Structure 1
Amino acid sequence: MLIIKGKYLVASAEDIYIDYSLVVEGENIVELLPNSEAENKYPNVEVIDKSDSIIMPGFINGHMHQYGVLSRGIPANVEFKDFEGFLWDYWWPFIENRIGLKEVKATTKASAIELIESGVIGFCDTLEAPNTEEGTLIEQGKILEEIGMKAVLSLESCERISYDNGVKCLEENESLINWSRKNSKNIGGIMCTHTTFTCSDKFLKLAQEKANSLDAPWQFHLSESIYEVNHCLKDYGKRPVNYLNDLGLLNENVLASQCVKVDKNEIKILKEKGVKVVHMPLSNCEVGGGFAPIPDLLEAGVEVALGTDGYINDFFTVMKAAFLLHKASKEDASVMPANKVFQMATEYGAKVLGWNNTGKLVEGNKADFIIMEDKFKTPVTIDNIFDQIVVQGQKEFIHSVYIDGNPILKDRRLQGINKEEVSQDMRKVAEEFWKF
């Protein structure tokens, strides 16, 4: 048993306790108690006294590409002005088509460290590597299981190379899902396709059939830019959400990433069908995709999580972007309040990934929490705590990260993974990968 004393215990976006302790036994949260009562009720147990710090749920990254680390600064010498150019002239030929197991192993470890150090306890990853070796997802899962993180893994499948290649990738997802259910506690799988402009209706229906047969969720990118919208209007006479809905493909088991160019009618459909959404504010800027109508999605009641997309994995930077960008886009400083962004980063992240026992610090949930030291330049109060965390918070403030009650980061030291060795290996793999 373990008692963690805090100044502020942020159980959720709605519940904050002052001078409270989190009581943990094994993997689970046993109780939330005032600091003055915890040791009396549970004597002779280990106590971590952080009564000057903040205890809160660990962050959950709803969508990322771990392999994306490889692209940072890559000398592709290609110019692109829009999303279409980004994909066809840069990302597909220089990155995706060349990713294999070696690159996956290196980037899995390197990006996991980045996530942990910014307070992330779990994530959903989309590997985009149509030419990778068979069994790559399982090897990725083994690495993350050893590190101790929670993850939902997938291999993006489409017909960009060929129909047969797409089917092979779907089967890789199926293998990972079956493996994870038998061999892993915290690693799961999800069926995964790309978009309506790289997948025919036949292929999309096949993906859904496979997901249904496995009783697994299904994810895909949706309207990341105007490119997909224009494609659907030209080829099908419908916007992407309408097209997918008319095919009978939208339901509560669907996780849609991006949703930058969805209109009011599409938002209504997403809500009615129970589709979950993940928002990537920073990568939307990188590719010139635009500003996703996240305030409108939230107002409609759609559950929206936050993701890094593998672009910038510091979750505090992502939260700041989600808090700030939409105020400018809507010309309304009241949208995206800090407590809502915090909820997206924790509770909603858990919901969209189907994790019903995390995202909040409540009795019975898994002990997935972080300890954040109060190094803010101005006082933290019960009234400003979410603004301080979301807007002024820094990964350097993270003292410890616990997953299932186990310290993955303790006293700012990674547990069970050698950061220097991982960094050296990542650098070596990148140098080799960059030799075109």
Structure 2
Amino acid sequence: MKVLYNGKIITLDKDRPYIENGAIAIDDGVIFDVGTTQQITSKYKDAELYDLENRYVIPGFINTHMHLYSTFARGFGFGGASPYSFKEILEQIWWKLDKLLISEEEIYYSALMPAIEGLKSGTTTIIDHHASFGLIDGSLDIVENALRDVGIRGVLAFETSDRWGKELSEQSIRENERYIKKEKDRDFFNALFGLHASFTLSDETLERVSSIANSLNVGFHIHVAEGIEDVESALKVSNKRTVERLKDFGILKKDTLAIHCININDVEIDILNETHTTVIHNPESNMNNGVGVAPILEMDRKGILIGLGTDGYTPSMIESVKVAYILPKLHYKDPRVGSDLARRMLFENNASVANRFFNKIVGVIKEGAYADLVVLDYNPPTPLNEDNFFFHLIFGIRENSVRDVFVHGRLLVKDQKLTHIDEIEVSRKSQEIAKNFWRRF
């Protein structure tokens, strides 16, 4: 047993949200007990002790939509391409990139690097949406291996799409089906059925994947109405809008993650609510692609569960929530809106999403939860407690405040450095692989 003591514990547990001089007892990767330092240290006298040195401790962050495979786009000029529409961004950059991922090494390092960066910024669980149409079979195992080597939890899916023809579409379906059926360590890994978006999926494919997913009792991970092209395509092929079309094929349901949901109307919001579909908001990526602002306040008022992701734009949930906090204020021209929703997305809703997939719960410091913990090196200029911690996170805490990170009770980051991976060597190797990848691009 290990005891972390002498810390200020932000538990995110409604029954006991804050412990001023707290301690956490950990056994076999799980939080065994939580209380004051005096209570816990006197109770478990033979435990290995770890002094938190009066620092703040919070649960590990959860990223509910990520594209780890997009890593090798960082810093690349894309040959002077200057796409002016969302579809051109996909065609000239992302679809070209994922078709050129052809080796295990490329997939592994493109997942390894952002997983490391995410961990160092406090992210301990990632729900990833993978695409590598140059190497489909077994690709989710490669991503899993990267996350396992970093030491974090993952929910994986392959982006099924008809955009590269029937043969590759079939392979992408089979890869999802294979990985969903694969026996996995449910303490660390699970699966969703990945789909790209309505406008790259035929009726035949939607019907097929719906049947397979229902037989496997699994939900979908799909982009929904991100760009206006998704709406236009749905209207053209079905005379219905995107959400309506997906509903007809049974894609929308409780365990489905509908990513983005920007270009939707009130009827579609009602459908998302009625089907108990979860929406994942990705504010930075949406802004970068110029696709618009999701109607998150309207969806929230309807009772839709809205999570927060990064869509590959950044590995940092701290960065993402800061933008999620300010964007509604600008968009709605009202400084009063969006604050509480941003807090709930990060601290409550993301945990609700992730807790569907693992044997025990994440996103909270309480008995029985996984011991995924972030120790913050933050000395606030004003008082900090359970009521105002979120605002300290928005206005004061940054990635460099993350000092130590525990996942499953293992100390993986200490003093802002990985304890189990040579970061310099990994970076060197990744750059070498990326250079060869860029030559093909």
Under TM normalisation by the shorter chain, which class is it? Answer: over 0.9
Deviations along 1:69-100, one digit per CA (max 9) or x if unpaired, are: 1111212111111212211233222x121112
CA contact (8 A) 2:378 2:397 kept: no
Deviations along 1:257-314, one digit per CA (max 9) or x if unpaired, are: 1111222221221111111121111110111111111222222221221111111112
Partner of residue 102, structure 1 = 105
Match of 1:130 among 130, 133, 156: 133
CA distance in 2, matches of 1:204, 1:429: 35
1:56 maps to 2:58: yes
CA distance in 2, matches of 1:350, 1:163: 37
Partner of residue 326, structure 1 = 328
Deviation for aligned residue 1:117? 0.6
Deviations along 1:31-80, one digit per CA (max 9) or x if unpaired, are: 22122322122223223222521111100010111121111121211111
CA distance in 1, matches of 2:203, 2:76: 35
Gaps of 5+ in 1: none
Matched to 1:203, the amino acid is T
SS of corresponding position for 2:54:
strand
Match of 1:304 among 285, 306, 312: 306
Deviation for aligned residue 1:248? 3.2
Deviation for aligned residue 1:401? 1.2
Match of 1:167 among 170, 186, 191: 170
Matched to 2:375, the amino acid is I
Matches within 5 A, 1:170-185: 170-179=173-182, 181-182=183-184, 185=187
Match of 2:422 among 407, 418, 424: 418
Partner of residue 369, structure 2 = 365
Deviation for aligned residue 1:214? 2.1
Q: 1:315 to 1:427 in 2, by over 3 A?
A: same
Matched to 2:276, the amino acid is G
1:263 maps to 2:265: yes
How many percent identity over aligned positions? 28
CA distance in 2, matches of 1:13, 1:238: 43
Greater shift in the superposed pair: 14-23 or 311-320? 14-23
Greater shift in the superposed pair: 44-53 or 186-195? 44-53
Deviations along 1:225-248, one digit per CA (max 9) or x if unpaired, are: 222112222332221111222333
CA contact (8 A) 1:69 1:311 kept: no
CA contact (8 A) 1:63 1:257 kept: yes
Partner of residue 194, structure 1 = 196
Matches within 5 A, 1:168-317: 168-179=171-182, 181-182=183-184, 185-317=187-319
Deviation for aligned residue 1:7? 4.5
SS of corresponding position for 1:142:
helix
Partner of residue 144, structure 1 = 147
TM-score (norm 1): 0.94
CA contact (8 A) 2:109 2:146 kept: no
Q: 1:249 to 1:383 in 2, by over 3 A?
A: closer
CA distance in 2, matches of 1:105, 1:52: 38
Q: 1:143 to 1:90 in 2, by over 3 A?
A: closer
Partner of residue 345, structure 1 = 346
Greater shift in the superposed pair: 187-196 or 344-353? 344-353
Q: 1:182 to 1:115 in 2, by over 3 A?
A: closer
CA distance in 1, matches of 2:288, 2:88: 13
Match of 1:393 among 392, 397, 401: 397
Partner of residue 90, structure 1 = 93
CA distance in 2, matches of 1:19, 1:211: 47
Matched to 1:318, the amino acid is S
Deviations along 1:111-147, one digit per CA (max 9) or x if unpaired, are: 1111001100010111122221521211221232232
1:2 maps to 2:5: no
Greater shift in the superposed pair: 394-403 or 404-413? 404-413
Q: 1:184 to 1:40 in 2, by over 3 A?
A: closer
Partner of residue 114, structure 1 = 117
SS of corresponding position for 1:127:
coil
CA contact (8 A) 2:6 2:54 kept: yes
Q: 1:340 to 1:34 in 2, by over 3 A?
A: farther
CA distance in 1, matches of 2:101, 2:325: 33
Tell me how large the CA RMSD over aligned residues is.
Answer: 1.9
Q: 1:248 to 1:214 in 2, by over 3 A?
A: closer
Greater shift in the superposed pair: 107-116 or 8-17? 8-17
CA distance in 1, matches of 2:295, 2:396: 24
Q: 1:397 to 1:427 in 2, by over 3 A?
A: same
Greater shift in the superposed pair: 342-351 or 209-218? 342-351
Gaps of 5+ in 2: none
Q: 1:214 to 1:141 in 2, by over 3 A?
A: same
